[in-house]
Structure 1
Amino acid sequence: MISTLFGGVDLYLPDDVNIQIQSSNFLGGVDLHKRENKIENTKVIYLNARCIFGGINIK
């Protein structure tokens, strides 16, 4: 779980990891930059995010 309040988080992941995001946002959000989930990847990260006046950047 990642929570932001008046700030932000940069999350860097390797290319061989898939990510599934569930988020609850209020004047903020989660940005997924140029990532594609690939079927052959077996590693999965489940992200539960809460953003209030802030954001999460996934690169």
Structure 2
Amino acid sequence: MSKATIRARVAFYLAIAQKSFEELSKDDKGYLNTSEALDQCWSLLDYMTGLSSNTCKIQ
């Protein structure tokens, strides 16, 4: 499997996780930890691909 395919899969799953996260209430336990973890994942993907996380995130 190519690196591009792996990065595409990572971006796909991160987009799904991001969309699911947006459905959480800010009062839910773990909200802040989940938010921070997703931000770090997007940052890592940015580093790996050179893409902007704002481009990848579902708005």
TM over 0.5: no
Q: What TM-score do you get using the length of structure 2 for normalisation?
A: 0.30
Q: Which has the higher strand share?
A: 1
Higher RCO (C-alpha under 8 Å, 6+ residues apart): 1
More helix by share: 2
